Amino acid sequence: MQKRTRRGLLTGSFALTVAAGSARALPKPAIVHGAGSTFAYPIIAKWTEAFNRADFRVNGGTKIDYQGVGSGAGIELIKGHKVDFGASDMPLPSAELKKSGLGQFPIVIGGVVPVFNLPGVPLGVVKFTGPILAAIYLGKITKWNDAALVAINAGLPLPNETINVVHRSDGSGTTFNWVNFLSKYSPEWKARVGEGTLVNWPVGTGGKGNDGVGQLVQQTPYSIGYVEYTYCAQKKLTWGLVQNRTGNFVKPSVAAFQKAAEGAQWRRDQDFYLVLTDAPGKDAYPITATTLILLPKKPNNYAANRALLEMLAWALENGQQAALSLDYVPLPDALKLQVEIYWTDIKH
């Protein structure tokens, strides 16, 4: 019954997307353009590929094209009406959304992980804390055998080598969640650097996208960086454990991201504005993140909007196994229902 109710809401949302249009036939665009989050690029690419070859589309021939250019660029492109939708791992406050005529809603949950290049050290062994990661990225901890790292990694032979710091050079929601986490554990980081999709890095070398960071880490001995977990798993990067607020060192996994999301209180009336870093729970991964879709409340192209919503409706109801296969957490049923109601609340 609940599924049937959701389907009814989806049908209603499609009707609303064209309600403000005229009675004449809608144009049928060849391509619906989207851009933004590299964090969610693997799953959005998989969903759009399935949509583009499926026979259930309401707009036959319509294709959806998504470019992973980073959350910062995606936000600017959708605000400038250069794309039909954006995707961001940094939620926008309601006031900013209203000013830009946008709505936003979550589509998938994942994690950001520290990755490093320590010859001979396997993944899942090195432990990090929020204060230590902040000190590394502030340039205050410069050696792998610093006393703070040695203290929490007893028995691990950390080398007397300089830590080569790698960060994103482009506007990134992955960066936002990383520095948001650092800000929660380091007053100095919060005061000196702060948060955002782009920050003034005190130290380090920049790479564009997860690819850029991942390649730099792979090519640079004794380096450290951060990427989204799906990319890390696909490229077989070496990741570390991160301490959560209960003191546990948690490995990144679907289960740990799910634990972080369990207590989340998304509110439809606040446009789902919520950051998941440092979530409570002994098994919660502390740098869990959410990707949100940014959509015009009054789209220029109603047919494009309708096709996009159909793809997302299909993804929420039928694309969740694909999300799990890529180490993302599907939205909980209660949250999916909130999202679908939110679509009907957007007055086109």
Q: Look at residue 106 and tell me whether its pLDDT is greater than 70.
A: yes
The average pLDDT across 216-240 equals 96
SS3 assignment, position 132? helix
> What is d(CA 290, CA 282) in angstroms, rounded to the nearest whole number?
20
Helical ranges in 130-278 per DSSP H: 130-138, 147-152, 173-185, 187-192, 209-219, 229-235, 254-262
Which domains, ranges and CATH numbers included, belong to the chain?
2-109+292-345 (3.40.190.10), 112-260 (3.40.190.10)
The average pLDDT across 245-256 equals 97
pTM: 0.90
* Both tokens assigned to 270: 């606040």
The more confident residue out of 242 and 311 is 242
* Both tokens assigned to 12: 């209603």
* Segments of the chain assigned E as strands: 31-36, 63-68, 85-88, 102-116, 127-128, 164-168, 205-207, 223-228, 238-239, 241-243, 249-250, 288-296
Task: Give the range among 86-90, 302-306, 310-314, 340-344 with minimum mean pLDDT.
Answer: 302-306
pLDDT per position as a tens digit, 176-198: 999 999 999 999 999 999 999 99
The average pLDDT across 342-346 equals 78
Angle (CA) 4-334-263 rounded to 5° is 170
The average pLDDT across 316-321 equals 86
Task: Give the range among 74-88, 127-141, 310-324 with minimum mean pLDDT.
Answer: 310-324
**85-88 and 31-36: which strand pairing?**
parallel
Q: What integer best gives the mean pLDDT of the chain?
A: 88
